[in-house]
Structure 1
Amino acid sequence: LLQAQVFNPDRFTVTHQIRQVMLLLESTLDREETQINGYVVICDYREVSLKQFVVWSITDASNTAKCIFQSLPVRIQEIHAVGVPKFISFVTDLVLSSMSEKIRSRVLVRAIRQ
């Protein structure tokens, strides 16, 4: 479960966020249940501000996704992004367009109605 609202963009950078995700993945790669079952990721974007998103460039998001999906031996079963603000939906579409169809089919985005 990734809770985006706890990220403090005044204190941490995108690099810190990427490191955190990579460390989490690396620390669980050796577990047998992870190797067999893979990951189901739930990203909670409720109560996030624009300030938390603007630190990410489209290139950052795209490169991070490619790194995770193409460089690490992880099995991502599903990614659920819930509470995605309307103002960020276009970025989500751009990042998803840079991924393979196989990965895109595993990403489920639920936007907040505003």
Structure 2
Amino acid sequence: MRLPSFRRSRFPGERSAIAMHTVIRGELPALVVARSDDDLWLVGDGINEPDSAEIMDLVHLSHLVELDRTLLELADLERGQQADRETVGSPWVRSPFQWLDEEE
């Protein structure tokens, strides 16, 4: 049995993610959160394609949690999973994570 990623539904203060600028600036909500097999966290707005490094940046997850406390629900997201939701307030739906180029 695998233990949850982080105890007490908290991300460690130093835990970072690659997130879209629109989410970091609070312009759009986080609608996609992924944790790759190699433990890279990704946060997207669910609208823009994450195909360019210019639209993403490294940020502490604690900053994103300040903008959206529901991200704490994903502290136990396992490696190789992603969570999506349609709108803020919609439930997070978990599924296996795949890099975009792996889907082709």
TM-score, normalisation: structure 2: 0.29
**More strand by percentage:** 2
TM-score, normalisation: structure 1: 0.28
Structure whose CA Rg is larger: 1
